[in-house]
Structure 1
Amino acid sequence: MCGFLGEFTFQHNSLTESASFEALLDLSQHRGPDASCTTRGSGFQLGFNRLAILDVSAQGNQPKESPSGRYQVVFNGELYNYKDLAKKYGFTNLSSGSDTEVLIHLLDKHGVDSTIQMLNGMFAIAIVDSEIDCLYLARDFAGIKPLFYGLSPQGIVMASQFDQIYKHDWFCKSLDLRPEIVKEYFGFGYMQAPNTIYQSIYQASPGELIQVDRTGVVKKNQLITFPKTQKETVSKPELSELLQEVVARQLVSDVPIATFLSGGIDSPLISAYAKKNISEIEAFTLEVANPQLNESAMAKAYADYLEIKQHIVSVKESDLLLEIDSHFKAFSEPFGDYSSIPTYVISKEAKQKHTVMLSGDGGDELFFGYPRMLDVLQKRWWFKLPFYLRKPLAQLTNKIGLTKTWAPYFKSLDAFIENKHLHMPPVVLDKVFPNTSFSSAMKNLYTFSSLNKDALLHQLRWNEFYAHLQRVLIKVDRASMAHSLEVRVPFLDKENIGWAWSQKGRLNSKQELKKELKDLLAKEVPETIINQKKMGFTVPLKTWLHTELQSDVRHVVFERPFYGEAVMDVSVLQTYVKDFYDNKHDNAWGVWHIYAWQKWWLEHGVTGEKLKVKREQ
């Protein structure tokens, strides 16, 4: 797990000077504090900050050149099947024990396209091919690892962090906001690939391979995707067997490894399987004083039964509040999911003892864990009726107590589902961004083609995977890597995703939410432990905004210049915040999006001055 930066020039343009390049590279030093190296060639330069996980010797450092000399590579992430691939293709005389070593041998033997399709892991890769003089960018199929790139007349810049692009000399003097993407941020709280808030700066999409030549021609190929339409179920191994194999191969590490453990279903199952492979495995749990948010007792019940050494990280709300400003420094892009605060804090504590953690992220998306999915299925019948009939019928049924729903008031099923993911009302967003629609990429994510229950359920999983999950992965990556901590995600193993995708979903009641995972966990611990309500990984945001944070919110929203006023009606946002404090609405999450936008800009925004970062000697 690391951070990289690269340049690839167009035609006969020049690379930036080494000092400027290294200053930008330093912005991701927290992602890889163990070694920092650069290489410079004809029309390209690559830099790498390494967090040493496999083969911690200098032999595992990057950038790396393939044995033939054809490819120059920087690679952030982990390849969980690298040993199997090395054995399969007879790579016995390797100069290091790292997965990157296997990667460069695969490139020489099979080329870029075939190699990327073989990989099972989490990764962002940049490859310079000297033979055909082009650049390749590849991102893992679940979008676990970040990969940003910017296109300018001078060339392309690729990096692990958003700020390494927009602070680059080729971009920082001419940054133009994209209103539709800024609108998406205020609605959803993150930037959805392939877009960013700036013109000419993008994200590689999950499973995408991008090729760029010296003339600036960009070719995109979706190498790996999980389809929106359910395919026929094929014979698959037992989920228990498969998931245990997944966890076993993700425990390979040359540095200390542990798990995150909550009171839910996903992380206890991962921890139980980890225990089968490493008897002394340890787990980290966050304990907060607020009884409505604290689930450490549930997690402790899991740890005690599984005989896992548990580190309970006890924090007061005041401790979390003290970390908010430093937590904003970890996000070099605008990001509005406030559960990033406890994620940041527990990552900080976990790093004191370990360098690698396993998490339970992805279980909800793949195994139908969100109640909103069930709600959509139960209310889909409304959308079989014409809109002009729905509203008066709902008014009647709500009045006499037969129903209690706003679903029929949405003009389409798409709008109803989209609204479940928005954290600011559409009417407010439309006032802030008049005559501005969401991007085509976001619209596609919220387009549902069927009211058939089975087909719709699969499309809901597809939506959660490629939309909401991406926000979760951003949160975990940035919060953990701020502390040089690698977080692995077993549920998002390529084989596990494929298994889940091939299974016909079933969701008729709350009891069936994540039923497959509950059944597996019941084989590891007593069901009495499982049948408890998970509280979630969150903070008392509404209370904070009305108390300790109110002064700072008012300061950054009303007293500081508001970033982006040229593409939005700032007065509407300011009124929305004022109405919150006047108790005219209680949408704390929407207010947080506004606050986080300003905090991001004030912490990371380009000031027009040349970037200066002191490098460690």
Structure 2
Amino acid sequence: MCGIVGYVGDNLGEELLLRLLASIHHRGPDGDGRYHDGPVHMGMRRLSIIDLAHGWQPLLSREGQVLAFQNGEIYNYRALRAELERAGFVFKTHSDTEVLAHGYVRWGIDGLLARIDGMYAIAIYDRDSRELHLARDRFGEKPLFYTAVPGRFGYGSTLLAVSALPWVTDEFDPQALDHFLALHFVPGDRTVLAGVRQLLPGERLTVALDTLAITRQRYYIPPLEAPRYVSDDELANALDEAVISRLVADVPVGVFLSGGLDSSLVAALAARAIPSVATFSMGFSEAQVDESAHAAAVARHIGSTHHCFAFDQDDFMTLLPEVAAALDTPIGDQATLPVYWLSREARKHVSVVLAGEGADEVFAGYSYYRQFTAPASRGKRGGLLASLLTRRRASLARPERFLLDDPLVTPSGFPLLTSRAERHRLICSPLNDDTSDSWQSGFLDWLGGAHGSLQQATAADIATWLPDDLLVKFDRMAMAHGLEGRAPFLHPRLVALGLAMRSSERMAGESKVALRRIARRYLPDNILQRPKQGFVLPMRRWIGEWFAAWGGAGEYFSQRPIPGINGKELIGIVENDITTGLYRERLHFAVIMLAEWWHYFSAKRAALRYDTTVWG
């Protein structure tokens, strides 16, 4: 696990790389690696997980003509290494990154990406072909940002590092703001900064270094296959393979254990491979959201070494700025707070944790998916939404847009924070017709190939809510403390099986039907029969206290302006909500997080920038 960063351009020099590497120290506190070749500058910070003594990057192949840097882990690297050794390649380390270097030489970039299973952001420099290859893992577990202007290109694991390159301005992207104000996160390839994009999950990018021409290509898109029968044994074997593969490490590994189905199943399977595996849970003072007793019961059942920490909700005023500063990209997800806290405590015991991210999207765990199941199980609202999306029995037509206005949802049923009219009032710049957005167009075309409304709904969340909120939260909160987070439910084979299941095996009265049935092999019934429970914090009280400490919402947003947002309109909306008792906590928390994020991000970015009269 590392952070990577690099840039290409004349007169940028080597000192800039040192500054950028220092900014990602938290992602790799164990050391760094650097490479310079004329205008090409590449670097990494390392968190040692595999081959602690020798896995320093870059790793080389073809007599030093191919260099590989990586942020992440390749879980099947041992099998690939054995195949490469049979083909005559000689390894100098036991690092998974060396497999990337030799694998690129053997199979090419497309062949390599087709074979590896992992979470990663990869940078491979081929000195012979004068090409730089970047790639992001299939589901977006690891971030990878880039920026380009004529004659210059840069990339990195953090928005902060990439934004510090001298040509990137403070300009906010109005379309990204529109999405953030609707969702509390930014989906697709945009970021809030107009000059920086991110690679999509399953996307690769090639830079021709002599011209800096860029080509982008999706090498993986989750398959939307016709529903088929998936046996319990096939599912159980895939799940066991996924968990076992994610345990590979040369350092202590643990599991985030909430006490719900998903994390409990991961913990149970991990405990079969690692007796007394460490598990970690968070307790809350409010009984209606506290799952710590259920987590402890699971821990006793599987024989794990359990650690439970109390989330001190009185620390909201100091914790929120810490979390906003650690996020790197803004999201308004309230669960960032306890995940940050839990990651900090878990890091005192382990360097790697497994968690249940992805299970709800793959196996249909959210209550709003019920509206896409059989008519008898849908209420009036479900019938309305399903009728907007369903076009024919076998498959669905392409949804017309991503952000719907009546009702306020995405094609998955995910609820929006604001209407289109409200967002137009809030955003200073004119907004384009969002149907012209290239990412959105491709996303909707893909959804149009779904077989049934439930597959379409879950696929929509797999491509948006999962990579651009849930995995951002997991990665940034864990990496803020030098902790590597892994998601077994995102094993490609397991995702393909989940998406291909018949709807009745995913959601039929209860959620995750087949997954619950499999879990009975490992867990007691009292765990399996519990309803889904997430982090539900006292946000109304906290937000009220937050604004009160600043002298009111108007005073707060006056002192924490957000570029591209009409401050007067924002204050008016928030104050009107409070006056009328509407209390849209999701919206209020989202804009607070955006304001706090920008306050700390812009200050850190200014410290990273260098004298442009010297560095160009």
What's the CA shift for 1:315? 2.5
Note if contact 2:506-2:513 (Cα within 8 Å) is conserved in structure 1: no
SS in structure 2 of the partner of residue 268 of structure 1: helix
Q: What is the aligned partner in structure 2 of residue 394 from structure 1? A: none
- Taking the aligned partners of 1:456 and 1:66, their CA distance within structure 2 comes to 47
Check if 1:281 corresponds to 2:287.
no
What's the CA shift for 1:68? 2.9
Q: What is the aligned partner in structure 2 of residue 518 from structure 1? A: 516
Q: What is the aligned partner in structure 2 of residue 98 from structure 1? A: 95
Name which of structure 1's ranges 186-195 and 64-73 shifts more when overlaid on structure 2.
64-73
Measured on the aligned residues, the alpha-carbon RMSD in Å equals 2.7
Match of 2:597 among 594, 597, 600: 600
- Taking the aligned partners of 2:446 and 2:205, their CA distance within structure 1 comes to 28
Check if 1:427 corresponds to 2:418.
no
Check if 1:25 corresponds to 2:2.
no
Counterpart of 1:220, as a letter, is R
What's the CA shift for 1:448? 9.0
Scaled by the length of structure 2, the TM-score of the pair is 0.88
Match of 1:170 among 150, 167, 179: 167
What's the CA shift for 1:166? 1.1
Check if 1:115 corresponds to 2:115.
no
Q: How does 1:288-327 map to 2 (within 5 A)?
A: 288-327=284-323
- Taking the aligned partners of 1:145 and 1:556, their CA distance within structure 2 comes to 37
Q: Deviations over 1:108-129 (max 9, x none)?
A: 2112111111110101001111
Q: What is the aligned partner in structure 2 of residue 240 from structure 1? A: 236
- The 1:385–1:166 alpha-carbon spacing in structure 2 relative to 1, beyond 3 Å, is closer
- The 1:367–1:556 alpha-carbon spacing in structure 2 relative to 1, beyond 3 Å, is farther
Check if 1:343 corresponds to 2:339.
yes
- The 1:603–1:414 alpha-carbon spacing in structure 2 relative to 1, beyond 3 Å, is closer
Q: How does 1:258-269 map to 2 (within 5 A)?
A: 258-269=254-265
- Taking the aligned partners of 2:323 and 2:409, their CA distance within structure 1 comes to 33
Q: What is the aligned partner in structure 1 of residue 206 from structure 2? A: 211
Check if 1:226 corresponds to 2:222.
yes
Counterpart of 2:164, as a letter, is K
What's the CA shift for 1:519? 1.1
Number of residue pairs aligned between Structure 1 and Structure 2? 581
What's the CA shift for 1:608? 8.5
Check if 1:153 corresponds to 2:137.
no
Q: How does 1:558-597 map to 2 (within 5 A)?
A: 558-560=557-559, 562-565=561-564, 568-597=565-594
Q: Deviations over 1:176-234 (max 9, x none)?
A: 32211111112112222311122331100111111111323211111111134647668
SS in structure 2 of the partner of residue 594 of structure 1: helix
Check if 1:485 corresponds to 2:480.
no
Q: Deviations over 1:559-582 (max 9, x none)?
A: 3151224xx433221112212332
Match of 1:328 among 324, 327, 337: 324
Check if 1:55 corresponds to 2:54.
no
What's the CA shift for 1:8? 2.2
- The 1:509–1:385 alpha-carbon spacing in structure 2 relative to 1, beyond 3 Å, is closer
Note if contact 2:447-2:459 (Cα within 8 Å) is conserved in structure 1: no
Q: What is the aligned partner in structure 2 of residue 369 from structure 1? A: 365
Unaligned runs of 5+ in 2: 390-403, 611-616
Note if contact 2:232-2:518 (Cα within 8 Å) is conserved in structure 1: no
Q: What is the aligned partner in structure 2 of residue 441 from structure 1? A: 439
Counterpart of 1:328, as a letter, is A
Name which of structure 1's ranges 547-556 and 519-528 shifts more when overlaid on structure 2.
547-556
Unaligned runs of 5+ in 1: 388-409
- Taking the aligned partners of 1:348 and 1:384, their CA distance within structure 2 comes to 42
- The 1:610–1:546 alpha-carbon spacing in structure 2 relative to 1, beyond 3 Å, is closer
Note if contact 2:17-2:42 (Cα within 8 Å) is conserved in structure 1: no
Q: Deviations over 1:247-301 (max 9, x none)?
A: 1121111111100101211000000000110112010000011112211111111
- Taking the aligned partners of 2:253 and 2:605, their CA distance within structure 1 comes to 42
- The 1:37–1:237 alpha-carbon spacing in structure 2 relative to 1, beyond 3 Å, is same
What's the CA shift for 1:498? 2.1
Note if contact 1:320-1:345 (Cα within 8 Å) is conserved in structure 2: no
Counterpart of 1:152, as a letter, is V
What's the CA shift for 1:69? 2.0
- Taking the aligned partners of 2:153 and 2:509, their CA distance within structure 1 comes to 50
Name which of structure 1's ranges 229-238 and 463-472 shifts more when overlaid on structure 2.
229-238
Note if contact 2:132-2:207 (Cα within 8 Å) is conserved in structure 1: yes
Scaled by the length of structure 1, the TM-score of the pair is 0.88
SS in structure 2 of the partner of residue 506 of structure 1: helix
